[in-house]
Amino acid sequence: MANPSPDGLRRAVLDAAPGPLHPVAAQTLAAAIEAGWADPRRLHGEGRTARRLLDDSRAVLADGLGVRPEEVTFAPDGPTAVRWMARGLSYAARRRGARVVTSAVEHSAVLLPARHEAALSGDPALAGVVPVDRLGRVDLERWSREVSVDGTVAALLQHANGEVGTVQPLAAARDACRSAGVPLGVDAQASLGRVAPPQEYDVLAGDAQSWGGPGGLGVLVVPERTRWLLPGPADPDAALHGPSRHTPWVPLALAAAEAWQQTAVTRTADAAEAHRLVDELRAAAARVADVEVVGDPTERLPHVVTFSALYADGEALVREFDRRGFAVSSGSACTSSTLEPSHVLAAMGALTHGNTRVTLPLAAVSPTRADDVRAFADHVAPAVASVRAELGADHL
């Protein structure tokens, strides 16, 4: 997505996490504000219209995810969907224990609540954190041991990492969980709509923004076979909004469904082009001295790449690229506003400073995507050199 800045400089947005709203979904959202504004719980005509539109939206998403409509439920956003996924699995199995297993590179919406619960209990072992290798892939042997520990009631593993792109071995991880009798919750916030949705899970969580949908809408898939329950009283409106107890604003659900339909048609071609463009970025970064490109080079999301530059500062790099007309990011993907060192890179044993993260937008929202990427690739080496010179490290 390229836009002119106030000073006339051509801008390229290469930080699409979350991504911009799909243009057709934006039109749907505007129209839905008039058609679907009513409370779908009401019995009057406007309420019944809103209910029908909400049901239609759920049906579209369910079809795309390969599940039944009643197995799709909503949350206020992606991180909330992930937290509810974890909480519902743990609460449903509370009589068997309280231990939760995660990987070391999970989203903060997984890691922070798990650590908090372990701290409250006074038992750090209730949070079983499995290490990853240099590519960011979970240690399957350790994973199998951890999910087999007595008192383990849930395991949580991302489909793919939104910071370095590495896809996790979900099939093998789920086999280990099944052998141990432990349900697997999968965080697909970074991947839904960009690649085929995962099938190896007991609960799935995602964010509508990942496929060009609106902000303010998370998605949960809770199959009928899965024991999942949020704490609290029984919900009289469960038939309306499912087990999450959240009734979304209907226009958001409609826009999310429209975005899903639009991106599903072009997903394969979009991903293939994005994969090639990221290959070009990886190659451009790797040519710069003392720059490390992280994540799996092949088993990865098509649209994400992170590289870390020695003798440079992440915040300074973001500002330098911004000065040159490119919006990119740094730090941990789930706490990027703080520019904290990345827990993902630390877990991988990679450089935790001087990192730059690029998340490509969908081609539908950024027709100049390929040109923007190639222009950015030309600026990687001079931008890194400029930051190193500013920090007095250009001679190292």
Residues 255-305 have pLDDT tens digits of 999 999 999 999 999 999 999 999 999 999 999 999 999 999 999 999 999
Grade residue 236 by pLDDT with cuts at 50, 70 and 90.
Answer: low
Contact 29, 214 (CB under 8 A): yes
Alpha carbon of 13 to those of 108, 241, 271, 360, 379: distances in Å? 24, 35, 18, 8, 14
Phi, psi (degrees; rounded to nearest 5) at 309:
-110, 125
- Portion of the chain with pLDDT greater than 70, in percent: 93
Chain mean pLDDT for the chain? 91
Q: What is the mean pLDDT of residues 156-160?
A: 98
Average pLDDT over residues 52-60: 95
- Residue 336's pLDDT band (cuts 50, 70, 90): very low
Q: Could you count the other beta carbons within 10 Å of the beta carbon of residue 163? A: 30
Question: CA–CA distance from 254 to each of 37, 56, 117, 220, 393 (Å)?
Answer: 11, 8, 36, 16, 52
**40 pLDDT exceeds 90?**
no
User: Where do we find the tokens 């956003």?
Assistant: 77
The C-alpha atoms of residue 14 and residue 32 are separated, in whole angstroms, by: 29
Residue 120 has pLDDT above 80, yes or no: no
Q: What is the pLDDT of residue 62?
A: 97
Q: What is the pLDDT of residue 17?
A: 86
Report all structural domains of the chain as residue ranges with CATH numbers, in order of start: 2-22+266-390 (3.90.1150.10), 23-260 (3.40.640.10)
Helix (H) or strand (E) segment spanning residue 51: helix 45-65
Helix, strand, coil percentages, rounded to 5, for the chain: 45, 15, 40
Question: pLDDT band for position 157 (50/70/90)?
Answer: very high
Report the amino acid identity of residue 392.
G
Instruction: Give pLDDT tens digits for 343-368.
Output: 999 999 999 889 999 999 999 999 99
Taking the CB of residue 241, how many other CB atoms lie within 10 A of it?
18
What local confidence, expressed as pLDDT, does residue 355 receive?
Answer: 94
159 pLDDT higher than 60: yes
Task: Name the one residue in this structure whose structure tokens are 């239609």.
Answer: 56
**Whether pLDDT at 335 is above 50:** no
Per-residue pLDDT at 6: 42
pLDDT of 7 reads: 47
Q: 334-339: long-range contacts (C-beta < 8 A, 24 or more apart)?
A: 334/79, 334/107, 334/108, 334/109, 334/162, 335/108, 339/314, 339/315
* C-alpha 309, offset from chain centre: 24
Residue 339: the pLDDT is 55
pLDDT at 240 over 90: no
pLDDT exceeds 80 at position 377: yes
> Model-level pTM?
0.92
371 has pLDDT over 70: yes
Q: Which of 104-108, 128-132, 241-245 has the lowest mean pLDDT?
A: 241-245
Provide the pLDDT for residue 1: 53
Instruction: Dump pLDDT digits (tens) for 77-93.
Output: 999 999 999 999 999 99
Question: Which residues are CB-contacts of 379 (< 8 A; sequence separation ≥ 6)?
Answer: 321, 324, 326
Beta strand segments in 196-318, E = 203-207, 218-221, 291-294, 304-309
The larger pLDDT score, comparing residue 20 to residue 274, is at: 274
